[in-house]
Structure 1
């Protein structure tokens, strides 16, 4: 909850508190003194509070006002727990709740108000211990904070997926600026846009001899602001090395920026000056895990020496942790090399046995929005899924099918660029992606069988990643034309990720939902994409899988995907329109399944480059 909202909540509670205090006490007792003092303190009516003490009025008002500043408190709330009267002496026990603001912890403690009669009127016997039992003369409160440095995003071996870079933190040492604090923060506020009162309260609530971070800058912004910052007497700038410069896959890892007035207000969380904020990718989805929360202490200081006297309360803060991904840096490097010569392409590689994502690489496309969450026509790459339904429906891999240049099925027209053939088998037509031959099989399978196979391969399933993703869609199928269009992949939308999982299912014999992050178990609750219950793995029919494996071995043979690096299985496919033609390669080699989508380039050549790069490492 933001500081403003918490203050408003405290004010709303106050009305109830005042009514309770007023209604319960009699005027001819110490109750009215207790009531007026605590209500005055709570509402910042320090004149009312001071009037019910026996101390110097100005000194009491200042002590109460300083307490709020020294704690940088958003609000105070009090509850009386008991009241004892013995002759002209009285004692009231009360419970205090101090909202330390900025989503810092709620400090609760119990204290005592000693009272006595002064000229027939009950008054609080004033001393600093009225504010807290451990506060003595010549002492003040302070809040000490120690933010934890940002943790890295890691690959599957525990290596960082970021390089260190520097952030620049401007701040002050309170004892060095002394009475000039207001002047200093006024100048800093004018330069940076941070609220002047927030900057000042941070200074006043901090130990005097500690550097107080006030504003954080990235490298470029710091360079542009350096002259102005250097012109503010009392401002010091410290550089902090943090693991925030993303390595590949950069858009999956995500960008990090320094905290700004806008992001600080928007987040309303444990962030303070000196922190960094995830702007995209996993850095954004796991922001609170990576930054953790600030260790906070309420302490008392000696006014003369500035040294700590006592620690009144400590909150260690939530521990920040690294985010461990399934990315394999070696596989990622091979993927980057494979797409390097293309203009528009996406490659996703997954572990065939687990669905763990090993690499995501793009050129001219976005790794998250396109490779994981893009909606692209499947084209004849969907024939892998359609073949599962057709084989279960009794179609044999050696069945002969003509591959004419044109064919009409149920009123839907299909055209292929393949040379006409009269005696090719189902497997051969699958291997070369003859859309007219494949579409002709629509009459051999019903819509329910196609939908069931699509679901078994994860198409349209409700799996989720901590980043945006798309599992695919298969439309409602009402006749032969609809079935033929689906078999040809014309009405099916998929992402490169969903097709990589299709290849992995055939390779391993079981479809698995994708995995990108292994630790922590789920992203921040506030992340745009919340983790959901993943669907269970789905085993393929063993006989169908055997047939599909042979078909995909034939599909990769003679294509650039083979690249002389051992056995490659897959299907080379076309999709898109005449204006925007695309090619797919969906297949596997060894433990890695891959889907490549390319425009104006042979996706099979990208896959071959990928497998070749892996063998060269």
Structure 2
């Protein structure tokens, strides 16, 4: 909750409290003095509160105001528990609720207002113990705050997916500022844009002899303000290592920045100087886990020595933790190397038996927006899904189907841009070569429901739980033979590289599984993530006999292609370039890794071969 909202909440509470107190305490008695003192304290009307105390009014006003500054409190709220009167003495027991701001828990404690008759009027017997039972003359409140260092995003082996880099933290020691505190803060505010009152309140609430971090800078920002900071001798700037420089896959891991006035105002806490803010990717989605929350302690200090006298309350804060991903750094390096040969391309690799994402690499595309969440025409790579429906409908792999250069189905025209395979190749040969005219001719052999069922079996259109934006694919409505023909040819189907990698994994393992990118923690920080996780769909088992046939078809589809440049048995199917962008796909697997390769104006099978070869060469 922002400080402005907390103040509003306190005002509402005050209105209710005032009404309650006024309604209950109408008699000329200690009630009126208790009411006025607490209402004045709560509403910052220290003049009213001081008028009901027997101490020096100026000293009472200052003590109440100082208490709020020393605690950096957003508000005080009170609740009367009991009031007893014995002759000319009275005792009011009340509960205190202090909002310390910065998203810290509320500090609650019980205290006592001692009262007596003074010149015929009830007065609060003033002493520092009115503020807190343990506070004495010559003492003050203070708040110790210790932000936790950011934890890393790690790969499946526990190695960090980012490198340490330096942030620059401007800090002060309150006792050394003397009477220049307000002037120093004013200049810092002008240099950095941070609000004066927030900087000053952090200084005043901190133990005087402890170092207080105030502002964090990234390298570029720090260099621009360094001369102005150097002109303030009371301000010391130190460097702090934080794991914020992302390694591959950089856009999946995400970028981190230092806290700025804008992000501090937007987030409202628990961030303080020294903290870092995830701006994208997993760094943003898991911000709350990676930074935890600030450790806070309310203490009493001796004004003369500055020593800590007592600890009144401590909040350890939420423990921060690293985020464990399924990325395999060796596989990621292989994918980066493979895609580097293209001008525009993406490689997504998943574990075929778990759906865990092992690598996401792109060139000329964005890893999250395109590789995970892109919406691209599937082309004849979708024939894997269509073949599932066709095989279940009784189409045999040996059935002869002409592969003409052009064909019209239901009024829709199809042009074969791949290599012809003879006058009457088999269904398996047409599948392997991606003959769009032959595949489209099978539109009358399946219904729209058949195609939709197969698409669902392969997760197309499913909602899954992933902490980043992603796209599982979409199908059109099936109103005609032409619609079904276009679907079999993948012309009216949209998919992402991630969704097609999962299609390959489903054939390889016999079961479609939803993707997994993070194994710990279970869910992202919902306050920071851009995506609200959906329930995870259940795995879908393929028909065993159909899967066996599809495996053989995809083995044939990889034969004689550059995808076999790597060692071992490669299964897959490639699509010829289509559309104005020359979109092309390779979808397949080798060993435990299922992949999809999406390229523009480049052979995706060659990228797949490079990837499998690099994986084989990796440690």
| Alignment TM-score > 0.5, same fold | yes
Deviation at 1:26, TM superposition (A): 3.2
CA contact (8 A) 1:490 1:575 kept: no
Q: Secondary structure at the residue paired with 2:465?
A: coil
Deviation at 1:223, TM superposition (A): 1.3
For 1:474, the equivalent position in structure 2 comes to 475
Q: Secondary structure at the residue paired with 1:565?
A: coil
1:549 aligned onto 2:551: yes
For 2:59, the equivalent position in structure 1 comes to 59
Give the distance between the partners of 2:169 and 2:248, measured in 1 at CA: 27
Distance 1:339 1:564, change over 3 A: closer
For 1:313, the equivalent position in structure 2 comes to 313
Give the distance between the partners of 2:543 and 2:569, measured in 1 at CA: 23
CA contact (8 A) 2:421 2:430 kept: no
For 1:435, the equivalent position in structure 2 comes to 436
**Deviation digits for residues 391-449 of structure 1 (CA, Å, limit 9, x no counterpart):** 00000011111100011111111110233622211000100000000001111111110
**Deviation digits for residues 157-190 of structure 1 (CA, Å, limit 9, x no counterpart):** 1110010001111011001112111000000000
CA contact (8 A) 1:149 1:275 kept: yes
Give the distance between the partners of 2:430 and 2:488, measured in 1 at CA: 13
Q: Secondary structure at the residue paired with 1:574?
A: coil
Query: Which of 528, 531, 535 is matched with 1:529 structurally?
Result: 531
**Equivalent pairs, count:** 616
Deviation at 1:575, TM superposition (A): 4.9
Superposed CA RMSD in Å reads 0.8
**Deviation digits for residues 91-120 of structure 1 (CA, Å, limit 9, x no counterpart):** 000001111112122111100001111111
Deviation at 1:576, TM superposition (A): 3.7
For 1:304, the equivalent position in structure 2 comes to 304
For 2:505, the equivalent position in structure 1 comes to 504
Deviation at 1:243, TM superposition (A): 0.5
Deviation at 1:564, TM superposition (A): 4.4
Within a 5 Å distance, the mapping from 1:83-232 to structure 2 comes to: 83-232=83-232
For 2:490, the equivalent position in structure 1 comes to 489
Deviation at 1:27, TM superposition (A): 3.8
CA contact (8 A) 1:54 1:124 kept: yes
Q: Secondary structure at the residue paired with 1:113?
A: strand
For 2:574, the equivalent position in structure 1 comes to 572
**Deviation digits for residues 26-83 of structure 1 (CA, Å, limit 9, x no counterpart):** 3421111111110111111111111111111111111001001000011111110000
Give the distance between the partners of 1:88 and 1:170, measured in 2 at CA: 55
Q: Secondary structure at the residue paired with 1:543?
A: helix
CA contact (8 A) 1:323 1:517 kept: yes
Give the distance between the partners of 1:389 and 1:438, measured in 2 at CA: 12
Give the distance between the partners of 1:164 and 1:447, measured in 2 at CA: 53
**Deviation digits for residues 533-580 of structure 1 (CA, Å, limit 9, x no counterpart):** 110000110100010000000000100000041110000113541x31
Give the distance between the partners of 2:522 and 2:602, measured in 1 at CA: 38
For 1:336, the equivalent position in structure 2 comes to 336
For 1:605, the equivalent position in structure 2 comes to 606
Give the distance between the partners of 1:132 and 1:475, measured in 2 at CA: 69
Give the distance between the partners of 1:86 and 1:19, measured in 2 at CA: 26
Q: Secondary structure at the residue paired with 1:562?
A: helix
Give the distance between the partners of 1:271 and 1:196, measured in 2 at CA: 17
Q: Secondary structure at the residue paired with 1:402?
A: coil
Give the distance between the partners of 1:277 and 1:408, measured in 2 at CA: 56
Give the distance between the partners of 2:301 and 2:570, measured in 1 at CA: 71
For 1:50, the equivalent position in structure 2 comes to 50
Give the distance between the partners of 2:390 and 2:560, measured in 1 at CA: 25
For 1:413, the equivalent position in structure 2 comes to 413
Give the distance between the partners of 1:73 and 1:27, measured in 2 at CA: 33
Give the distance between the partners of 1:27 and 1:234, measured in 2 at CA: 55
Give the distance between the partners of 1:233 and 1:113, measured in 2 at CA: 45
TM-score calculated relative to the size of structure 2: 0.99
Distance 1:323 1:40, change over 3 A: same
For 1:35, the equivalent position in structure 2 comes to 35
Q: Secondary structure at the residue paired with 1:458?
A: coil
TM-score calculated relative to the size of structure 1: 0.99
Give the distance between the partners of 1:393 and 1:219, measured in 2 at CA: 63
Give the distance between the partners of 1:41 and 1:104, measured in 2 at CA: 21
Give the distance between the partners of 2:73 and 2:133, measured in 1 at CA: 18
CA contact (8 A) 1:3 1:103 kept: no
CA contact (8 A) 2:113 2:130 kept: yes
Distance 1:564 1:270, change over 3 A: closer
